[in-house]
Structure 1
Amino acid sequence: MVALQQQQEGVPSGTEKTTHFGFQTISESKKADKVAEVFSSVASSYDRMNDVLSAGIHRLWKDHFVRSLNPGRRPGGSPMSILDVAGGTGDIAFRMLDHATRINHDTETRITCADINADMLREGERRSLVDTPYGGTDRISFLVQDAETLDAIPDNSVDLYTISFGIRNVTNIPAALRSAHRVLKPGGVFACLEFSKVRPAMLDAIYQRYSFSVIPMLGQLVAGDRDSYQYLVESIKMFPSQEQFAKMVEDAGFMLPGKGFEELTFGVASVWKGVKPLH
């Protein structure tokens, strides 16, 4: 079994800053616990959750995301070190290793799945052992980490940082982006797949009606958990626009290729990328 390593979190003192939890305003110190409750609730039905949220299209988005990054050792190069943040169930990690192995014939690239939620990581570890050839090998490891600090990940140690449908649940997104920049090697790539703003406005109106009327109801029917799905659709609504988040990535020190993002399915989801400068 791959060991799960738990980090200790401090309790902030002084006047509490506030943030949003869906449409609620709460103190920053409470958000991590409330998000943890949501994802502990849906850990065993994570794929079904994403099927409900995206009508199943998330599988195509994830395949495209991985292909666009082309993970694996290049001819004459070294194996890659990949960090998948908020990737507890291994959904992206398994795709990364499959691509590296089958497309780039690289059986040495390694990936660390980091997640603040140990229940999600246990589900990922279970899947790695049951559904993949990677479980119990040195090609994949599971590590409890806060995306805002990544305090167990050394500076300049990662070739590729990915986060898929997780950045919107982070309490302090700029802090998470700064940590991503810190752990990446110069020339390393930051890549984020996340729900985003639908365009044009007429299509967005239909999407919002579907999201708030249908998804929580389906959450109740599929997983017996309406509240978690209600939070998830609210968190999508509260996430910055494609342009706003690209600016946040740039402000964290990354160079953006082009406009910094690619919209998928009319903006239902988008991919953002940034490169850590060589100097």
Structure 2
Amino acid sequence: MEQFITRFAPSPTGHLHLGHALSAFHVWRDAARAGGAVLLRLEDIDQTRCRPQYEASILADLKWLGLDWSGPVRRQSQHFDEYAADLEALRQRGLIYRCFKTRREIAAALPAGADPDEAGLTGKPLAPAVEASRLARGHAFAWRLSLSAARAELGARYGTLAYTELTPAGPRQVRADPKPFGDVVLARKDTPASYHLACCHDDALQGVTHVTRGEDIRTMTSVHVLLQALMDWPVPVYRFHPLLVGPDGKKLSKRAGDKGLLAWRADGKTPADIRAMTGFE
């Protein structure tokens, strides 16, 4: 049987909720059906929001749900030097640049509610003297991946970027189109790496062959395929699972009132109850 290594990678910025549980159930079932392994990764890049108590809660909730993992837990905060090396490699190739536009400035030019990080912003490096002046004055900046530079480096390969998606009808090839995301952020002055960079780096390093993720990350997968091509990282096989939605049809999440598993446990719910509440079959 072909090797199957997947991962579950929550961020310890709060307690696991029902949406997390649904995703975990899909991840572990996919691995079980393939006779594969699940790795546990804590995406704790955001040191301002991640907390040790949330990490402990995540581990306890997974154990309570009967979901065990292979090998040690990988904590991204312990590997900032690895992501910095990736950034430096991209910088030396002229593929990233410092962008000094603030989120507020970007948001002001967007429709209300649009995400500044996913608005398709494109730009170019400032003149060296201007950039040096802003750095000397301590201005904040983001390292952005230049989509135009990436296209130029990949040449004809850019038009063939694709990944394999597992569907109920079988595997299919999906063309990757990172253009709508523009020049994505790969790091910030005070944040060593973005989700995009750390996620793709770790998938390659850990030998992840299959990724099961929610439908809300489907379009973003094109950005990851672009990074994988630029860094010569292998492209996993992807499967996208349905999201848990509320009565209004919107994704259920911590911000949208999804109650944490810790609270459900305190209410006397069992792991079987949680499975039923997520609609997982």
Q: TM-score, normalised by structure 2?
A: 0.30
Higher Rg? 2
